[in-house]
Amino acid sequence: MNILYRTYDGSPEPFGGFESKITDALNRSNSEYSVLLADDDFIALDGIDRCVDFLEQNPGFAVAHGDYLYFWVDQGSRKCVNWKPVYDRRSLAHPDPAFRLRHHLSHYPSNATFYAVHQTTLLKHVLMQVVQSGLRSVVFRELYSTGVTVILGKTKYLNVFYSAKDRHSGRVQSVPDIAHLRAGPAYREEENHFKDALTSYLSEHSTLSAKASKATVEAALSGYLKRTLPTEQRYLERTVISARESLSSRGLGEVYDCFRGMYRTAFPKDIYSTRRAQCWIMLKGRLVWINYEDFKSIGKFVLSNTFGIQQP
């Protein structure tokens, strides 16, 4: 194989200038198709060939990929003892880019496009869009890149072995933690930045108006958040919304009942001493502060002054 090996220093750019470095590497290649490969992955060249053949025969598709597998190795015998697919075995061939975006983010990351076979020009375009967007968080840069990809074209899953990763190699990383990001003070600004950038891109690359594009992006991000946030977080976020609505039309007693019912549904066991849950409520539920000691002693939640009311 004809391999050009280059190394890149770190940089102060977000994520170490990740997209800029890949773009520079791609600019040094004359290949029509490109695949990104992490340093802890195995790649199947036959699978790549099949994907390239498909893309050459189907110009309406942006990317193609096959089966990408996690496998487990017994440390004693060094034999493979189990495996499972990393991504869903599904294609996204709908002709409407707005539909593709909503469906894709609502099922992300089980249908990620990052390691699929791309046309080199398309991959460079996607990466440069991320750089130019100015987004700083890893999670929104990743969502933006995959969103741009599915806006530009369809995605294809082929029933062929494509790539694999040792599940216990020590290198497997989780999907960027949207829950952790949402705990920070800069989340809302970054989310709005993401929605504005993707709305503008969708509007420019579809027949949708700016208003319709914005509604599509809102729905797509909402679908992603519903999929990725743990059940208890979704319950508590809905509780905040319910409490907002209740405060304008009902007495505090009904608000307490709402909180108590939702909390017991989300946390059926007594976890008042669980530090993780307390931390989430403190950081994520800035609109609502739950005092566990008061709940245990009087059976009611104490509402935060963020609602503009007096604590009982």
pLDDT at res. 88: 84
DSSP state of 108: T
pLDDT at res. 225: 85
Query: Going along the chain, which residue ranges are E strands?
Result: 33-34, 41-43, 61-73, 80-85, 117-119, 154-166
pLDDT at res. 162: 93
Q: What is the DSSP annotation of 137-176? A: SHHHHHHHHHHHHHHH-EEEEEEEEEEEEETTSS---PPP
State residue 164 phi and psi, 5-degree precision: -150, 155
Structural domains in the chain, sorted by start: 14-228 (3.90.550), 231-307 (no CATH)
Residue 81 in tokens: 């003892």
b/e code 122-147 from CB counts within 10 Å (16+ = b) = bbbebbebbbebebebebbbbbbbbb
Cβ atoms 146, 113 nearer than 8 A: yes
Cβ atoms 291, 256 nearer than 8 A: no
pLDDT at res. 304: 41
Angle at 134 between CA 63 and CA 116, to 5 degrees: 15
pLDDT at res. 73: 79
Q: How far is CA 111 from CA 2, 128, 251, in A?
A: 31, 22, 45
Task: Report mean pLDDT in 10-residue bins for the chain, 312 residues.
Answer: 82 74 90 89 92 96 93 78 82 96 91 93 96 90 95 95 77 57 80 96 95 95 80 52 52 56 51 35 38 46 38 35
pLDDT at res. 36: 93
Q: How far apart are CA 221 and CA 55, in angstroms?
A: 28
pLDDT at res. 294: 46
Q: How far apart are CA 289 and CA 287, in angstroms?
A: 7
Closest CA to 304 of 230, 248, 247: 247
- Which residue's structure tokens are 């930045």? 193
Is the backbone peptide bond immediately before 109 cis, with ω within 30 degrees of 0? yes
pLDDT at res. 274: 39
Q: How far apart are CA 266 and CA 260, in angstroms?
A: 10
